[in-house]
């Protein structure tokens, strides 16, 4: 069995590595200049945005191209919100800005604090603008091809990652708690035997199930949520493996990358074991440094990409049966000063007595 992945970034590469381990050949397809693979190859994606070119249009007719309908429904934020409304799933109040609308009109509809997000192409907080009633500004020229949503005052952010196979079997990891700084994920925590999210886990799984079933989706899907009291509001859905699931490489018996390959290839899909506590730290705009290797417990994944400020260059995974060990490791870890707020956030959770 052969798998090809649209996109050749780090997510594709980690799926390639995971496939290789279990004896499945995975090749990455460059969106700009690749030839289509043979008809017997299963084709999946590591990204949900791609340019409309000869290659990506030919791909739509390939018999092995999975999730055509799901991509059409989810990759545009306006369409994704409409799907969520149709399924009666909770989101932040939102609207599509109309021609002639002013910032004041949007505030009247959605309140004093708003996120304006371009309908397509944004990631890691890009393609977004914050609108505050107290700070009138010129609306961007992509304003009418966007969604506007109320800024939610949330307790925390979590995500659920799960996979569905062609027979409709679904398995999920437990909720991951995520810390974003300036719209970019900095750290994720996934802690076993944590009572904090036990009431929310079933709700999140039910929502993921509902979306995957409605779209007849095959593979790994992620839903990001805002937690407000006992309520989960869906922030967004990613039809792919996700940065907040990188901890599964260290903390689960089957990583999200392997789970995706298993699901798309109709290989066995048991519920992954996830016995202890895991912590993932994104290396954002950091240069390669051997110090990441000079730690008995840190698992470095370096993506080998050209450096840019703030760019996701790699990540560190830590796993231990006891979360207090993660707290000790984190307290001593040499991280840039910009990680101070995220470190304090994680320490508070890892040291918490429930
Ligand atoms: P990524 O692709 O990295 O997940 P993205 O660019 O698709 O990010 P979002 O997930 O929409 O962007 O937003 C990034 C972060 O910005 C969220 O995780 C959250 O921290 C904050 N954010 C976005 N929308 C809202 C909102 N309506 N209310 C409060 N915070 C928000
Ligand atoms: Mg997001």
Q: Phi, psi (5° rounding) for residue 56?
A: -70, -30
How far is the C-alpha of 292 from the C-alpha of 297, rounded, in Å? Answer: 10
Report the nearest-CA residue for atom 27 of ligand 1: 151
Give distance in angstroms: CA of 335 to centre of ligand 2.
Answer: 24
The pLDDT of residue 141 = 86
The pLDDT of residue 66 = 97
Contact 41, 3 (CB under 8 A): yes
Nearest ligand 1 atom to alpha carbon 185: 3
Q: What is the pTM of this model?
A: 0.97
Nearest ligand 1 atom to alpha carbon 128: 6
The pLDDT of residue 321 = 95
Among the listed residues 55, 78, 41, 67, the one whose alpha carbon sits nearest the alpha carbon of residue 7: 55
C-alpha atoms less than 13 angstroms from C-alpha of 174 in its C-beta half-sphere? 21
Ligand nearest to the CA of 122: 1
The pLDDT of residue 115 = 96
Helices (H) and strands (E) in the chain, counts: 10, 16
Q: What is the pLDDT of residues 17-41, one digit of tens each?
A: 999 999 999 999 998 877 899 999 9
Name the least confident of 47-51, 91-95, 174-178, 251-255: 47-51
How far is the C-alpha of 342 from the C-alpha of 8, rounded, in Å? Answer: 29
The pLDDT of residue 281 = 98
Among the listed residues 298, 192, 179, 292, the one whose alpha carbon sits nearest the alpha carbon of residue 252: 192
Report the nearest-CA residue for atom 16 of ligand 1: 183
Name the least confident of 99-108, 117-126, 251-260: 117-126
The pLDDT of residue 45 = 97
State whether residue 121 is helix, strand or coil. Answer: coil
Mean pLDDT of 65-75: 95
For ligand 1, residues with CB inside 6 Å are 92, 115, 117, 122-126, 149, 151-152, 157, 180, 183, 185, 224, 235-236
Of residues 311 and 121, more confidence is placed in 311
Ligand nearest to the CA of 124: 1
The pLDDT of residue 159 = 98
Ligand nearest to the CA of 158: 1
Name the helix (H) or strand (E) containing 249. Answer: helix 248-251
235 contact partners, CB below 8 Å, separation of at least 6: 91, 92, 157, 224, 225, 226
Q: Pairing state of beta strands 2-6 and 25-29?
A: parallel
Within 10 A of 339 (CB to CB), how many other CB atoms are there? 23
Reply yes or no on whether the pLDDT at 126 is more than 80: no
Q: What is the pLDDT of residues 268-327, one digit of tens each?
A: 999 999 999 999 999 999 999 999 999 999 999 999 999 999 999 999 999 999 999 999
The pLDDT of residue 143 = 87
Average pLDDT over all residues of the chain: 95
Percentage, residues of the chain above pLDDT 90: 88
The pLDDT confidence band at residue 43, using thresholds 50, 70 and 90, is: very high
What's the sign of the alpha-carbon dihedral 337, 293, 249, 322? negative
Mean pLDDT of 151-162: 98
The pLDDT confidence band at residue 354, using thresholds 50, 70 and 90, is: low
Give distance in angstroms: CA of 124 to centre of ligand 2.
Answer: 7
Give distance in angstroms: CA of 111 to centre of ligand 2.
Answer: 21
Reply yes or no on whether the pLDDT at 193 is more than 90: no
The pLDDT of residue 194 = 76
Question: What domains can you pick out in the chain, each with its CATH number?
Answer: 2-65 (3.40.50.20), 93-150 (3.30.1490.20), 156-350 (3.30.470.20)
In our burial notation (b when 16+ CB lie closer than 10 A, e otherwise), range 143-155 reads bebbbbbbbbebe
């Amino acid at each position: 069995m052969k798998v090809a992945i649209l996109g050749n970034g780090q997510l594709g590469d980690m799926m390639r590595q995971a496939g290789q381990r279990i004896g499945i050949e995975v090749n990455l397809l460059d969106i700009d200049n690749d030839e289509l693979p043979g008809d017997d190859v299963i084709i999946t994606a590591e990204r949900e945005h791609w340019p409309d070119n000869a290659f990506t249009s030919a791909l739509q007719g390939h018999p092995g191209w999975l999730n055509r309908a799901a991509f059409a429904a989810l990759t545009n934020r306006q369409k994704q919100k409409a799907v969520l409304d149709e399924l009666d799933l909770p989101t932040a109040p939102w609207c599509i800005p109309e021609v002639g609308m002013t910032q004041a009109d949007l505030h009247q509809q959605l309140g004093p604090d708003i996120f304006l997000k371009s309908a397509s192409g944004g990631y890691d907080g890009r393609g977004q603008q914050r609108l505050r009633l107290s700070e009138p500004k010129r609306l961007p020229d992509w304003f009418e091809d966007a969604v506007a949503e109320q800024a939610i005052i949330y307790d925390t952010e979590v995500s659920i990652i799960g996979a569905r196979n062609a027979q409709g079997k679904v398995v999920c990891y437990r909720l991951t708690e995520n810390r974003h700084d300036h719209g970019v994920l900095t750290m994720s925590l996934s802690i076993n035997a944590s009572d904090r999210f036990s009431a929310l886990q079933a709700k999140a799984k039910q929502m993921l199930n509902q979306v995957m079933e409605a779209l007849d989706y095959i593979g790994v899907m992620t839903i990001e949520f805002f937690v407000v009291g006992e309520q989960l509001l869906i922030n967004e859905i990613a039809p792919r493996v996700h940065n907040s699931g990188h901890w599964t490489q260290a903390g689960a018996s089957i990583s999200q990358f392997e789970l995706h390959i298993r699901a798309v290839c109709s290989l066995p899909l048991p519920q992954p074991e996830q016995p202890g506590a895991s912590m993932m730290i994104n290396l954002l705009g950091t240069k390669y440094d051997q110090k990441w290797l000079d730690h008995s417990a840190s698992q470095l994944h370096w993506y080998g990409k050209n450096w840019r400020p703030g760019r996701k260059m790699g990540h560190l995974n830590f796993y231990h049966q006891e979360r207090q060990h993660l707290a000790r490791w984190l307290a001593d870890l040499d991280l840039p000063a910009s990680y101070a707020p995220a470190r304090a956030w994680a320490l508070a959770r890892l040291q918490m007595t429930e």
